[in-house]
Structure 1
Amino acid sequence: MKILVAGAGALGGYFGGRLLQAGQDVTFLARPSRAAQLAASGLVIHSPWGDAHLASAPTVLAHQFKAPADLVIVACKAYDLEGTIAAFAPAVGPETTILPLQNGLRHIDRLTERFGFRKVLGGLGAISAALDESGAVLHLGREHTLAFGELDGVHSPRVDAIAAAFASARFDSQPSDRIMQALWEKWVHVATLAGATSLMRASVGDIVRAGAQGVALELLNECSRIAAHNGFAPSPEALGRTRAAVTAPGSSLTASLLTDIERGAPTEGDHILGDLLRRGRWSTADTVLLPLAYAQLRSYEARRTRDTANAEPAQRLAA
């Protein structure tokens, strides 16, 4: 199976690297700077499940494709989706399957609109990972699950083929006939964590220490009601896992969205929080904290845009 991984950051680097380590035919669609880094240092993974140093990590730049891929794993940030689609579109042939790993659902709407419903699977990567200063992938926990399945829940030969290709890789591969339920449950979890930690500008443990864990629990209620409105009420088990995660005393857990805010970077707030709000029939009477968290993120993005615009004339004068 010819696999193109669109995005060579922590998410794509980990799962794509594990597939490459297992002998699969993997190529990374990367920006020029990342491609140069991989050419010089190889793809390095540090993980509790075993380190890897892949001296040869094949890369391709946008529009350099010579043949269609069998599988495109979309592992970019949500705010980079449009540019990534434009970059990998030439690699999508009549038999290509697209497997996106972003949180939420707006990316699936966009991919099915661009390539057709039958081209796209549902997928999620459950992993905590980051790139260090050298470009190595740091796997920060023990979970490393890649789940995937048909959007309509049908058991298909192509899902079986992907499962076979993933079977020898050093991560947990989970083909699923209920991938939409899994996507909604993860979305509720991520939105609750992102909303609480970014709104409070604190880790879960600090929020609990302040006696403010009720904020996270109310966000969980609001997000769950929206999922139920769309026909995907989270299971009691999923709710229990999220409830435990956002009320754990001493936990250093935060959302990557808060990390992005703290380093002045773009965020996936619109994809995670804004789109969730748009899919619910909400009012200020029964949904209060989610709109507030989203408004806070929009305000951050507005300030970031203003600061960037103000900095550019000064940079030109200095040059």
Structure 2
Amino acid sequence: MKIATMATGGIGGFLAVRLTQAGHQVAAIARGDHLRAIAENGLTLEHGTGVDTVTPWIATDDPAEVGEVDAIIFGVKGDALESAAKACLPMIGEDTVVVPFLNGVEASERLMQILPAHCVANGMAQISTTIAAPGVVRQVGDFSRFVFAERDSQPSARIDALRAAIKGAGASAPATNDIDRDLWMKFVLFSAVSGVTAAGRCTIGDILDHPPLADLMRAVIAETAAIGRARGISLPMTAEADTWNLVQGLPRAMRASTAIDLEEGRPLEIEWISGAARRLAAQMDVPAPINSALYALLLPHKTGHG
């Protein structure tokens, strides 16, 4: 397959390395020092069992150099979605599928406002990665799970082909019969982990060790799940308990990327996490006081200070 990673950050970089190793033509869209390092030294993935370096089919900051591809792995920060989507247009053919792997639950709807609607799928990633240095992506832990489907969750040949490619590259890509449910289950977890670890400047261990913080996290979980159900999402009745069980099994030192961005003075994605929960709740006339409070606490840091 011809696959573009837009952009080649943590998720895109991981998949670019694995898919290139599996024999696919991967166009790595990047910029700045990261792009220069990829062009000069290849794209490197550091992981628990070693280090792999590949030379992508194309490494560029201009998607027009790539041309039409079979699939676009779309993984950018929420605030960069609009500009990145417009940049993807030269790579879009009639049957190209664009799979968003972004935090939040609004990416596919936002993409459809810019790209041909029939090209936009939906997806969510469960993997911990970061750019460790220009040209170097580091995977934390050994899990890598990518769940995606057409927006109506119906089977399609192009989704099957991309799923087979990712499986063949050594990552998990299970089929799903309800991508909206899967996306919201992650959002229920992430809205809580992101909001509490960032606003509280704390880790999962801190939350588990301090009952008021644990109560706060359980309340965010319940509130976000209620928003999803109000919007017609078929969350299981055990969603809240299942999510809290997941939290208890997370590494004690873990913090959300929002908390790390806050500490390092980078812009925050809060409009698509706590802010999204607040906004989506208001649309359904559902109360969301806790997500609203977390959003308000983080709002002064939204643009970062770097």
Q: TM > 0.5 between the two?
A: yes
The answer for the alignment partner of 1:71 in structure 2 is 71
Corresponding residue of 2:131:
131
- Measured against aligned partners, the alpha-carbon deviations of 1:38-82 in whole angstroms (never above 9, x if no partner) come to 122211112236531214563122243352111111011112112
Residue 258 of structure 2 corresponds to 257
Q: Which residue of 1 aligns with 2:294?
A: 293
Cα offset for 1:151?
A: 0.9
Structure 2 distance, partners of 1:152, 1:50, is 39
Per the alignment, residue 226 of structure 2 pairs with: 225
Aligned pair 1:161/2:161, yes or no? yes
The amino acid that maps onto 1:29 is I
User: Which deviates more, 6-15 or 172-181?
Assistant: 172-181
* Secondary structure in 1 matching 2:84: helix
Alpha-carbon distance in structure 1 between the residues aligned to 2:40 and 2:142: 28
- Residue matched to 2:30: 30
Higher mean alpha-carbon deviation, 126-135 vs 189-198, is at 126-135
Which ranges in structure 1 are unaligned for 5 or more consecutive residues?
309-319
User: 1:3·1:71 contact (CA, 8 Å) conserved in 2?
Assistant: yes
8 A contact 1:129–1:137 mirrored in 2: yes
For 1:5, the aligned partner's letter is: T
| Contact kept? 1:71, 1:99, Cα under 8 Å | yes
Contact 1:147–1:176 (Cα < 8 Å) also in 2: yes
Matched, 1:144 2:144: yes
Instruction: Judge which range, 49-58 or 292-301, deviates more.
Output: 49-58
Match of 1:181 in 2: 181
The offset of 1:166, in angstroms, is: 2.4
Which region of structure 1 is more displaced relative to structure 2, 33-42 or 189-198? 33-42
Cα separation, partners in 2 of 1:67 and 1:133, compared to 1, 3 Å: closer
Following superposition, the deviation at residue 100 of structure 1 comes to 0.8
What TM-score do the two structures reach when normalised by structure 2?
A: 0.91
Aligned residues: 305
The percentage of counterpart residues that share the same residue type is 26
* 1:237 CA displacement: 5.4
- Farther off after superposition, 262-271 or 126-135: 126-135
Q: 1:186 to 1:249 in 2, by over 3 A?
A: closer
- Please give the residue correspondences for 1:29-48 in structure 2 after superposition, counting only pairs within 5 Å: 29-48=29-48
Q: Determine the C-alpha separation between the residues in 1 that align with 2:262 and 2:93.
A: 38
Are the equivalent residues in 1 in contact too, given 2:27–2:66 (CA < 8 A)? no
Structure 1 length as normaliser, TM-score?
Answer: 0.88
Q: Does 1:269 align with 2:270?
A: yes
SS of the residue 1:95 aligns to = coil
RMSD: 2.3
Amino acid at match of 1:102: L
Specify the SS of the correspondent of 1:53: strand
Q: 1:283 to 1:99 in 2, by over 3 A?
A: closer
- Give the distance between the partners of 2:99 and 2:143, measured in 1 at CA: 20
- Describe the SS at the equivalent of 1:167: helix
2:92 is matched with 92
**Alpha carbons 1:209, 1:249 under 8 Å: kept:** no
Structure 1, 253-262 or 109-118: larger mean CA deviation: 109-118
Residue equivalent to 2:8 = 8
Larger Rg: 1
Whether contact under 8 Å (1:146, 1:174) holds in the other structure is yes
After TM superposition, give the deviation of residue 106 of structure 1 in Å: 2.2
SS in 2 for 1:8: coil
Structure 1 residue ranges, 4+ long, deviating more than 6 angstroms after superposition? 282-285
The verdict on how the C-alpha distance between 1:20 and 1:287 changes in structure 2, with shifts beyond 3 A counting, is: same
2:243 corresponds to = 242
Specify the code of the residue in structure 2 equivalent to 1:166: I
1:103 paired residue number: 103
- Paired with 2:15 and 2:250, the residues of 1 have a C-alpha distance of 31
Q: Deviation at 1:92?
A: 1.0
